[in-house]
Amino acid sequence: MIGLIQRVAGASVTVGNKTVGQIDKGILLLLGIEKEDGSNEVEKLARKVMNYRIFADEQGKMNLSLLDVGAKLLVVSQFTLVAQTDKGNRPGFSLGASPEHGERIYNQFVQHVREQYGHCETGIFGADMQVALVNDGPVTFQFKV
């Protein structure tokens, strides 16, 4: 499982002409799911994202988490994060989850976050989405669990 997080001043996901997910200050998580991912990876990545200290404290240092500052999370599936790009000029997706497995794990991740940490916004798994964001910093980190 690969997660790319961006600290944002705001972000939204649109499908067609309809906004399906939107946050103000918070984290945009682009989530890539691999073949072998399961509950263990869901719990580990959720804990990491929710507790990662990327928000400024009173001294301006990145010392506070999403939970500490009461910010929001927007989760968007992004299959291309699992691409193998080390050879040639075309990405390989042999490590990526099947659409069925990917959707099941994506939904499990979102449900876990909601149960353990509260509300989160989402895109629509497998949809052609337009993601708009204002990266705050910019601050971007990648996790592989």
Global model pTM greater than 0.75 = yes
Choose, from 6, 55, 78, 108, the residue flagged as catalytic. 78
Instruction: Give the largest CA-CA distance in the chain.
Output: 47
Active site residue 80: yes
75: tokens are 């989760």
- Residue 97 is predicted with a pLDDT of 96
Low-confidence ranges of the chain (pLDDT < 50): none
Of the residues 19, 55, 59, 79, only one is catalytic, namely 79
- What is the structure's pLDDT at 133? 98
Superfamily of 2-144 according to CATH = D-tyrosyl-tRNA(Tyr) deacylase (3.50.80.10)
What are the helix (H) ranges across the chain?
39-51, 66-69, 99-117
Q: What span, in angstroms and rounded, lies between the C-alpha atoms of 74 and 23?
A: 7
Domain boundaries, the chain: 2-144
> Residue 114 has what pLDDT?
97
pLDDT tens, residue by residue, 72-112: 999 999 999 999 999 999 999 999 999 999 999 999 999 99
CB atoms within 10 A of CB 22: 14
